[in-house]
Structure 1
Amino acid sequence: MHAYRSHTCAELTKDNVGEKVRLSGWVHRVRDHGGILFIDLRDHYGVTQVLCDPDSAAFADVEKVRSEWCIRIDGEVKARDPELINPKLPTGEVEVFVREIEVLGASEELPLIVFGDQEYPEETRLRYRYLDLRREVMQKNMTMRSDVVASIRRRMWDQGFREYQTPIITASSPEGARDFLVPSRLHPGKFYALPQAPQQFKQLIMASGFDKYFQVAPCFRDEDPRADRSPTDFYQLDLEMSFVEQQDVFDTIQPVLEGIFEEFGGGHKVDKHWPQISYKDAALWYGTDKPDLRNPIKMQVVSDHFRGSGFAIFAKLLEQDGTEIRAIPAPGGGSRKFCDRMNSFAQKEGLPGMGYIFWRKQSPDSIAQERGITVKEVNALVKSGEITLGNEAAGPLAKNIGPERTEAIRQQLGLGVGDAAFFLGGKPKVFEAVAGRARTVIGDELGLTEQNRFAFAWIVDFPIYEKDEETGEVDFEHNPFSMPQGGMDALNGDPLDVLGYQYDLACNGYELVSGAIRNHKPEIMLKAFELAGYGEDEVKERFGALYQAFHYGAPPHGGCAAGIDRIVMLLADQQNIREVIMFPMNQRAEDLMMNAPSDPTNEQLRELSLRVVEQQD
């Protein structure tokens, strides 16, 4: 028999009854039932119930074991009594009577309990990650992650791609975040960088004549942490293709991701139709370039209804250039209580409040006041059918702008009795993000957002440039390596009008994919960087290899990258990306388990010709 096990803790069934077996694993929990000891023995594969009574020679040793001790047991497989069968376990029809036990690894008192669903502070979970990872949900998450990566690789190979590895130590390159710099021992005073992405290398692979490339690539960015973003490193499915247009990239990645979400999505609906929405429309309709299309709410511009109106705040605001008023429809939100809650939400977001109108069934009181008759007379007219109670608008805004304007707003938004609308105004870039968050809250609270569904959308036509409001200088707003729509001709006009062949894929409010058709012509590349204030010498210095390669017959090419950590987070139905990363950093980009970052020794600093200078307050 094998030194440690004849079976895993998930394999035994009633077919094994009567067999002598050997199992190894961890003591999940111990139960004492009147002198008979029951142990749930757990390994990576499952759980088997083992038991021991005083008749066994091993009883005294079994009495000593505690939770999370690692043990080996020898015993006999017995059938459970019918009333004691556990249908939730694959091994629930049997149990193993212990004849011999060996303690492979005793455990001290645990800083966190593996059994059960107790919540522990993040600091405790990350400091003792090896214990946290023993928990059932973490085992499932990490197994799913491994299976997702394996499935991605198979699907890419099936589409004719080959996987090529790119360097981990390279030169610094601006990809939109801070680099992690690595000092060079052989070249004192100079630094390598960990790659933010394989961007330039994969483009050089295309220039080298390899038609299709992919890689499950580690990327390193010194970023501020968020719930859906690691502060140090992450993995992405990176791909690039030659002789392609934008739609070719879409047609390549969609079946890969669609298949992954169908395979691992737990039966959730996976949308087959992935609409293409312009960046401009996404900002208008959803307040974000990563919209959650499970929420049906679309925001609209309603500025004309407030120009010259009795609501002075909006009317005066619209006299300024570049301002507008947007409405967030809220079907089913037509109560003062809900409107007040949303107003409080806006105040927590740093706004004075959020204007609203809600529509309710017209009351006899309001008709009586309007017609100058009594409520009793109104009720009589209603009963006789001479008057029909319609709807009326309520709320401070409705009173200020009057019934004609509120009715026009209602019709534009397609709302009715029991519905509401919320309003934000100013320069769109200032309030769009808050409007987007308000749309999300409204959809969630009113039950409009469809659960158990993965809804995808391509966001296209990104602007390449933006202007700094304070300095007036033009810089890149998005990927500087994207081909401008219209090529060189587009760059001869207003830079702020230039759109790129750049695209993102959004799913359920998260950005899953980002990519572009690349700018592969050196003269267009120089002009594109020139508009953002980068001279020819700087381009050659920072992107020399890429710029030079484009002089030797570079093919048109494009691709994208999909965030693996974020994909698995969605599939595992987790709200924080650390739940699907084996050994993540904390919010301060610290590894509490390995004590990183750590102080270098004086010898290490001398070898690197470095000196640490204390920061001055």
Structure 2
Amino acid sequence: MMRTHTCGELNIKNQGEKVTLCGWVDSKRNHGGVLFIDLRDLYGITQIVIEPNNNDFSKAEKLGNEYVVRIKGEVRKRPSGNENKNLPTGEIEVLVDELEILNTSAQPPFAVAEYINVSEETRLKYRYIDIRRETMKKNLILRSKIAQVARNYLYSKNFNEIETPILTKSTPEGARDFLVPSRINPGKFYALPQSPQMFKQILMASGMDRYFQLARNFRDEDLRSDRQLEHTQIDLEMSFVDEKDVANIVEGLMKEIFKFAGEKIETPFIEMEYDEVILKYGTDKPDIRFGYEIKDITKIFRESGVKIFKQIIETNGVIRAINTGNLYQYSRSEIDKLTEILKLNGAKGLVWIKMKDLKLESSIKKFLKENEINSLIKTLEIKEGDTVFIASDDRKNILKYIGILRNEIIKKDKNPKKKWAFLWVRHFPLLEYKVDENRYDATHNPFTAPLPEEIHKLDIKEELENIK
């Protein structure tokens, strides 16, 4: 064996044992002619000691950080006062008998130390060094163990893990396919799967009943914080179940995963209808750890003297508002910046209202009637120090940016009401009309079935966008 122990498992119980360790030189110190080296591997750090009378002392003097070495020696108790209570191995050290250099190392482009600030570009370029950092190692180990937790849970629920093809045929999904040329069929291509959707439905039709896999998916789309070119998902499919059955399985799975990670989550998850979520939060994937609910205030301005509001209402548009509270005071430049963000996403502008010294300040105050001010204060529960943002638009266009407005507000709030908040959004629209393509398209994917009570609407053109 190359080693008898890892660098993270020796303790005072091993005192007097002859051991062999392998690892990377994390640091080296010379105290009075004696060399002290922190030897690091995946499992931890062990201090090794090389005295001047050691035949390999001159070799040890040449060691640099990130050299890979193998040592043989005896475990001994550290001198009193030199213990390191922050390390599991902190009570002992290994007095080296033999030292072998397995590999040298050039000066690393950055230190492996956790506190070192390095750009992401540099970290990715030297990924093999980046992964040596404690945080990265822990992340990868945690991911591996969570995958095991997921597998064990799903096996206990009679699921079968089945791999589906990677080189496949293009199917209509939500993004562009990655294409792979076929060598034996010139001019033809395979598509990498955006999801195993078709395959898992085939498995259900084949009678496999319950399927899962940790599936790799590939989507050729622009990178965003929640969009990557490839990702892994816990993919499930079940036969002879209803919505509640699916929810119970997924909630149980998430509870097991979070429990393993040392976190507690509440089940059952909150459930909301799609229409309610869109109205309250402006998006179908809201962060409900925060309040900041969107309120429809169209009725308040039915007889408004505010020209833009009047025009919007006359064209069957809507007026919606968010009370940001008084935790953060927005400066005029911040409001202007926020307005520009919304304009980039389709907004025409942004109205603001502040309550200061029990009086309203607003960009439209001179146009507001007293009854409108009173209604706003009551409906939006405006209190001293609060800032309110108001947007108006047609019913579809406002959805392009009102959720973005709420997300920008959340960025200023560092105090969520709870750490974790899961949400089931139920009954999405089945279809949406693509104006530029003059056709209806699936909101999610064409494999989604309408609710049984909604099927008859498929024959009514005026109802197509209302099918759930």
TM-score (norm 1): 0.71
Give 2:431's match in structure 1, choosing from 460, 465, 480. Answer: 465
The corresponding residue for 1:249 is: 246
Alignment partner of 1:398 is 2:365 = yes
Alignment partner of 1:346 is 2:339 = yes
- Cα–Cα, structure 1 residues 208 and 467, in superposed 2: closer, same or farther, change >3 Å? same
Structure 1 alignment gaps of length 5 or more: 362-390, 501-617
Alignment partner of 1:328 is 2:322 = yes
Does the residue aligned with 1:281 lie in a helix, a strand or coil?
Answer: helix
Please list the CA deviations of residues 263-286 of structure 1 after superposition, one character each: whole Å capped at 9, or x if unmatched: 21x44x423241222222222211
Whichever residue aligns with residue 430 of structure 2, its letter is I
Provide the rounded CA distance (Å) in 1 between the counterparts of 2:216 and 2:437: 36
Q: Whose relative contact order is higher, 1 or 2, with alpha carbons under 8 Å and at least 6 apart?
A: 1
Please list the CA deviations of residues 221-270 of structure 1 after superposition, one character each: whole Å capped at 9, or x if unmatched: 22222223321x22111111111122221111110012212221x44x42
Please list the CA deviations of residues 69-122 of structure 1 after superposition, one character each: whole Å capped at 9, or x if unmatched: 110111222222342221211111111222221001111222232223323333
Is the contact made by 2:16 and 2:75 (CA closer than 8 Å) also made in structure 1? yes
Please list the CA deviations of residues 347-391 of structure 1 after superposition, one character each: whole Å capped at 9, or x if unmatched: 244356521222234xxxxxxxxxxxxxxxxxxxxxxxxxxxxx3
Does the residue aligned with 1:153 lie in a helix, a strand or coil?
Answer: helix
Within a 5 Å distance, the mapping from 1:164-563 to structure 2 comes to: 164-231=162-229, 233-264=230-261, 266-267=262-263, 269-321=264-316, 323-333=317-327, 335=329, 337-338=330-331, 341-350=334-343, 353-361=349-357, 391-450=358-417, 453-470=419-436, 472-485=438-451, 486=453, 488-493=455-460, 494-500=462-468
User: 1:338 offset after TM fit, Å?
Assistant: 4.7
Whichever residue aligns with residue 326 of structure 2, its letter is G
TM-score (norm 2): 0.92
User: 1:22 offset after TM fit, Å?
Assistant: 1.3
Whichever residue aligns with residue 240 of structure 1, its letter is E
Is the contact made by 1:295 and 1:443 (CA closer than 8 Å) also made in structure 2? yes
The corresponding residue for 1:551 is: none
- Cα–Cα, structure 1 residues 305 and 488, in superposed 2: closer, same or farther, change >3 Å? closer
Within a 5 Å distance, the mapping from 1:91-170 to structure 2 comes to: 91-170=89-168
Provide the rounded CA distance (Å) in 2 between the counterparts of 1:171 and 1:158: 33
Provide the rounded CA distance (Å) in 1 between the counterparts of 2:368 and 2:11: 74
Whichever residue aligns with residue 208 of structure 1, its letter is S
Q: How many residues align?
A: 463
Is the contact made by 1:183 and 1:192 (CA closer than 8 Å) also made in structure 2? yes
Whichever residue aligns with residue 489 of structure 1, its letter is H
Does the residue aligned with 2:116 lie in a helix, a strand or coil?
Answer: coil
User: 1:416 offset after TM fit, Å?
Assistant: 2.1
Provide the rounded CA distance (Å) in 2 between the counterparts of 1:467 and 1:429: 11
Provide the rounded CA distance (Å) in 2 between the counterparts of 1:40 and 1:276: 52
User: 1:46 offset after TM fit, Å?
Assistant: 0.6
Provide the rounded CA distance (Å) in 2 between the counterparts of 1:97 and 1:352: 73
Identity rate, percent: 40
Provide the rounded CA distance (Å) in 1 between the counterparts of 2:380 and 2:256: 37
Alignment partner of 1:29 is 2:22 = no
Is the contact made by 1:334 and 1:417 (CA closer than 8 Å) also made in structure 2? no
Does the residue aligned with 1:155 lie in a helix, a strand or coil?
Answer: helix
Provide the rounded CA distance (Å) in 2 between the counterparts of 1:19 and 1:289: 61
- Cα–Cα, structure 1 residues 273 and 405, in superposed 2: closer, same or farther, change >3 Å? farther
The corresponding residue for 1:555 is: none
Is the contact made by 1:9 and 1:48 (CA closer than 8 Å) also made in structure 2? yes
Does the residue aligned with 2:277 lie in a helix, a strand or coil?
Answer: helix
Q: Which deviates the most, 151-160 or 221-230?
A: 221-230
Provide the rounded CA distance (Å) in 2 between the counterparts of 1:395 and 1:447: 26
Is the contact made by 1:330 and 1:420 (CA closer than 8 Å) also made in structure 2? yes
Does the residue aligned with 1:83 lie in a helix, a strand or coil?
Answer: coil
Provide the rounded CA distance (Å) in 2 between the counterparts of 1:334 and 1:189: 59
Q: Which deviates the most, 39-48 or 393-402?
A: 393-402
User: 1:472 offset after TM fit, Å?
Assistant: 4.1
Whichever residue aligns with residue 354 of structure 1, its letter is L
Whichever residue aligns with residue 424 of structure 2, its letter is W
Q: CA RMSD in A?
A: 2.2
User: 1:304 offset after TM fit, Å?
Assistant: 1.8
